[in-house]
Amino acid sequence: MKAIALGVRFSLELCILASLVALAAYLAVPIPARVLFGLASCAAVAVVWGSFLSPKRRYEIGAAGRLILEAGMFVGAALILNYVGSTKLAIALILVAAANKVALALIP
């Protein structure tokens, strides 16, 4: 059961990156700038996630710090999705992320 919850969590992490790509595509700038923004923002978020939130993280910021950072990333992704016109996806992202967080906390 925990493997399923961890798989959902990984999918949610990819959704955060997909929201950044959606924002890059939505911007009214030349295509090379969109591509650069998409790549740079995805790389930055991946580095932060890997450094502070992954199971093999390099830096320990405590449970409260991880919760705040993780919630901030999901809320940010939801705000981006809402901004680009995908309100239903934004709501779904938050609901699934919250349910997954609870499931991971309850599963031994």
Mean pLDDT by 10 residues, the chain (108 residues): 93 96 95 96 96 93 95 97 96 97 92
- What is the identity of the amino acid at 38? G
Within 8 A by CB and 6+ apart from 74, the residues are 12, 16, 93, 94, 97
Q: Give residue 108's pLDDT.
A: 81
Q: Give residue 83's pLDDT.
A: 96
Tell the residue number behind the tokens 């199971």, with chain if given. 55
Q: Give residue 14's pLDDT.
A: 96
Distances (CA, A) of 51 to 40, 56, 74, 83: 16, 8, 17, 28
CA atoms within 13 A on the CB side of 102: 5
Q: Give residue 19's pLDDT.
A: 97
Q: Give residue 49's pLDDT.
A: 95
Distances (CA, A) of 47 to 11, 17, 96: 17, 12, 23
